[in-house]
Amino acid sequence: MRLTCPRDELAQKLGLAGRAASSKATIPILGHTLLRAEDGRVEVAATDMELSLRLPLDGATVDEPGAVMLPRLAADLVRSMADGPVVLEHRLNEGQLSLSGGGSSFSLNCMQAGDFPELPPDVGEGLTIPADRFQMTADRVVRAASRDETRPVLTGVLVRIGPEGLVMAATDSYRLAVRHTDLDAAPSEVREAVVPARALQEALRLITATRATEVEVVLTETQGVIRIGGVRLTTRLIDGQFPDYRQLVPDRFEHDVAFDRGELIGVLTRIGVLAQRTAPIRLRFEQGQVTVATVSDQVGEGRESLPVPFSGEVLEIGFNADFLREGVESVEGDEVRIGLISPLRPGLLRGADEEYRYLLMPIRLTA
């Protein structure tokens, strides 16, 4: 194989593909990136057997078709080279890759492409969604997914596509984020799957990197495919029953308090500086105001009051500082409303249009 490619294009695509490569040493070849030139197409690909990425290498000139495995450091080397074309050359069954350009030349040990596992086959057409709507939905939900592998289904995001549009939901059992987005061409049949949060995070990065305007989503029985600007991301779906988010959100609240979103973010950011992992943010609601406070044995304490339209008996409730701030930041618009029942019942954050809902479990407060 021998080909020439612009440095920036090669560096970007190797960097993006490398995010799907495995960081574990159990199967060494999975830590490498496949570069393949055949049938008039040049692409780079990587997989860890859970998630795979296939990206076109644009602007490449192929002198000899073929395939080679590139080690992870190849992306860093290309990025460090002077601007201009980069030439890659590899002879069949040899363990050396020649990389040259901009006055630099390298000879890298490489593995044989024939030992690389077969990538998931392509599937049929899916539903095309405007990239900005997909991005808005996934970005506000994916952060609520769990990182605890003992409950695999909670490490994913429920993706539901049907007549009502696109719905994504995620929970780590301490908070629940749900975002509904209307679609111009919503399908008549419902398709639902639990997609690994990591796959959606990678999709968000690809949208930004490629500046794509559309995203195509395909959900089969066992895998999800997301096509973004010529890039194909394939992921295994998570098997299991995702909690019914509609039953988790209370029907009514004793209090529905409206805040200026920007003002509340500012207060939570300042008070949150003092909040440690074990120190919750305290919200004390009383006639016409709320006091936001925290107390840390290691750092100190802080408090700040805001005027709010609250009436009735005093209510004091505690929340995880980071979770509360992230929820407020994810609400769209200038206003955020917090629905409250009691100090031991979850609070619901939402905006004026209620397209996004964020349910947050409280922390029991001590005196």
Give the per-residue pLDDT at 367.
67
- Convert 60-75 to b/e letters by CB count within 10 Å (16 or more is b): bebeeebbbbbbeebb
Looking at residue 360, its pLDDT comes to 97
Task: Output the pLDDT for position 342.
Answer: 96
**CA-to-CA dists, residue 47 to 112, 173, 246, angstroms:** 15, 30, 35
The pLDDT score that the predictor gives to residue 366 is: 82
The tokens describing 111, both together, are 């593995």
CB atoms within 10 A of CB 294: 22
Residue 45 buriedness (CB in 10 A; 0-12 / 13-18 / 19+): buried
In angstroms, the CA 359 to CA 177 distance is 6
Burial of 322 (0-12, 13-18, 19+ CB in 10 A): middle
Compute the distance between CA of residue 110 and CA of residue 64 in angstroms, rounded to an integer.
Answer: 18
CATH topology match: 2-115 vs 249-360: yes
10-residue averages of pLDDT along the chain (367 residues)? 95 95 88 93 96 96 94 94 95 89 92 92 90 96 95 97 96 97 90 97 96 95 94 96 92 94 96 82 96 88 94 95 95 95 96 92 88
- Residue closest to 68 by CA, chosen among 32, 121, 41: 32
Q: What is the pTM of this model?
A: 0.92
Give the three-state DSSP class for 189.
coil
CATH of 249-360, one of 3.10.150.10, 3.30.460.10, 3.90.1150.10, 2.60.40.10: 3.10.150.10
Separation between Cα atoms, residue 108 and residue 223, nearest integer Å = 35
In this prediction, residue 296 carries a pLDDT of 81
- Domain ranges for the chain: 2-115, 127-246, 249-360
Distant-in-sequence, close-in-space partners of 87: CB < 8 Å, separation ≥ 6: 2, 3, 4, 98, 99, 100, 101
The CATH number, out of the four listed (3.10.150.10, 3.10.129.10, 3.40.718.10, 3.40.50.2300), of the domain defined by the range 2-115:
3.10.150.10
Report the distance separating Cα 315 and Cα 89, nearest Å: 70
Strand partners for 330: none
CATH 3.10.150.10 for domain 127-246: yes
Token pair, residue 45, equals: 């690909």
Distances (CA, A) of 110 to 47, 74, 269: 17, 10, 48
Collapse the DSSP code of 119 into the 3-class scheme (helix H, G, I; strand E, B; otherwise coil) and give the result.
Answer: coil
- Cβ-contact 343, 362 below 8 angstroms: yes
